[in-house]
């Protein structure tokens, strides 16, 4: 590409390498073995290490485990059928079979919504208050919901950045137009991943300190308690761009500005469903506005809006088999389309992504809404 560019000048792709060591004559090179790349990506997302603040060879105990982001004993079992729930898979081999689409399939709950980010000892001790006691919505439990979602997201962001950098050679053997398209797309995705990861690495120390000192007053929340169990479980963090009215909240592509983050957990406990939103006070400017617009949703629409929201933003959703199978074809199609927006990270988020829910699913009767934050106006 660019025959007038001298061989020793920096490559146009921004890799930092000289052209002669990067994209010179790349169209004539042998295509990248994408199965080898897929194997490296799999390994990145299967890395095993403990995210506990005190983690070391002296303090960790037991092997690195598949830590559940959703309580297995109370939540996953409550929606499982014969030990299975519906989940989508972003495994490259699976995506090849589905033409790149995320499609829910039955998986065993032992591997549902897990990540290898804690040793057995720290997983047990850190989340004991969630795993061994009924959920009451205490400050500690709400913090732990946040912390578990945060740690999982941090683990995934680290693996994502490794994977994106591994894809830089995916344009070998392709023409100059394809090379430019691939590198420009990767450049934007890597910049976004780097910004998110930088924000989270800095925040990790703040959350670790709160956990160590049992000081949870730096976190705010909004929690819904339902009268009966709900059919969708998930746990994760997002950097929200739009509120539930379609108004812009923040520009997540602006590298010069701090990006606010919110954690979301949905689960069952004691025969009742819970959906909890939690955030750190440093992120309150965006999160409070998001939740204020969520508060305005009528009880009769909460099931529709919440379901659409979870499918739009979280890839580790666990779904009750009977509920999913009893949806109409159009309802499943709508939710699969929302799910697949996650599979297109280069595409801009629609401003209407939280306003157009028309699923018409059965309402989830709300028992209580608990607001643990104050508005700045």
In tens, the pLDDT along 249-271 reads: 998 888 788 899 999 999 999 99
Whether 370 has a pLDDT exceeding 70, the answer reads yes
Residue 3 domain-assigned? Answer: no
Is the residue at 183 inside a domain?
Answer: no
What is the rounded average pLDDT of the residues 196-214?
94
Buried-state track 122-158, b at ≥16 Cβ within 10 A, e below 16: bbbebbeebeeeebeeeeebbbbbbbbbbbbbbbbbb
Q: Specify if 268 maps to a domain.
A: yes
Listed in sequence order, the DSSP H helices in 273-376 are 284-295, 302-313, 321-326, 329-340
Lowest mean pLDDT among 188-197, 213-222, 293-302: 188-197
Percent of the chain with pLDDT over 90: 62
Reported as a single tens digit per residue, the pLDDT across 42-72 is: 888 899 999 999 999 899 988 999 999 998 8
Is there a domain that residue 335 lies in? yes
| Residues of the domain holding 237 | 219-372
Question: Do the domain assignments include residue 24?
Answer: no
Per-residue pLDDT tens digits for 337-360:
898 887 676 677 888 888 867 788
Domain for residue 197, yes or no? no
Q: 28: which residues sit within 8 A by CB, 6+ positions away?
A: 173
Q: 376: helix, coil or strand?
A: coil
* Over residues 305-318, mean pLDDT: 93
Q: What is the rounded average pLDDT for all residues in the chain?
A: 90
pLDDT value for 365: 93
| pLDDT for the residue numbered 92 | 67
In a domain, 98, yes or no: no
pLDDT value at residue 38: 81
Largest CA distance in the chain: 70
Stretch 194-218: mean pLDDT, rounded?
94
What's the number of domains the chain is made of?
1
């Amino acid at each position: 590409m660019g025959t007038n560019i001298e061989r020793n000048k920096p490559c146009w792709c921004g890799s930092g390498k000289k052209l002669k060591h990067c994209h010179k004559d790349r169209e004539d090179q042998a295509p990248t073995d994408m199965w080898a790349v897929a194997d490296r990506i799999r390994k990145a997302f299967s890395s095993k290490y403990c995210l506990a603040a005190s983690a070391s060879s002296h303090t960790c105990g037991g092997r690195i485990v598949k830590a559940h982001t959703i309580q297995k004993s109370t939540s996953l079992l409550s929606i499982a059928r014969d030990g299975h729930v519906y989940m989508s898979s972003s495994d490259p081999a699976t995506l090849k079979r589905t033409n790149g689409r995320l499609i829910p399939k039955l998986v065993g709950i032992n591997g549902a919504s897990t990540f290898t980010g804690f040793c057995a000892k720290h997983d047990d001790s850190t989340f004991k208050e969630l795993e061994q006691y009924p959920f009451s919505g205490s400050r500690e439990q709400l913090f732990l919901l946040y912390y578990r979602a945060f740690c999982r997201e941090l683990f995934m962001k680290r693996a994502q950045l490794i994977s994106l950098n591994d894809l830089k050679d995916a344009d070998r053997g392709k023409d100059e137009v394809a090379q430019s398209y691939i590198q420009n797309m990767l450049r934007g995705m890597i910049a976004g991943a780097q910004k998110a990861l930088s924000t989270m690495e800095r925040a990790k120390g703040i959350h670790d300190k709160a956990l160590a000192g049992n000081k949870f007053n730096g976190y705010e929340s909004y929690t819904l308690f339902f009268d009966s169990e709900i059919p969708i479980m998930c746990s994760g963090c997002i950097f929200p761009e739009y509120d539930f009215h379609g108004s812009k909240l923040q520009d997540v592509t602006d590298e010069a500005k701090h990006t606010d983050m919110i954690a979301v957990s949905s689960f069952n406990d004691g025969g009742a469903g819970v959906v909890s939103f939690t955030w750190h006070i440093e992120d309150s400017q965006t999160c409070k506005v998001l939740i204020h617009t969520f508060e305005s949703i009528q009880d009769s629409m909460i099931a529709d809006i919440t379901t659409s929201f979870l499918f739009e933003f979280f890839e580790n959703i666990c779904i009750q088999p009977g509920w999913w199978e009893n949806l109409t074809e159009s309802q499943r199609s709508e939710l699969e389309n929302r799910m697949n927006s996650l599979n297109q990270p280069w595409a801009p988020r629609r401003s209407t992504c939280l306003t157009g829910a028309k699923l018409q699913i059965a309402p989830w009767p709300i028992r209580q809404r608990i607001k643990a934050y104050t508005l700045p106006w």
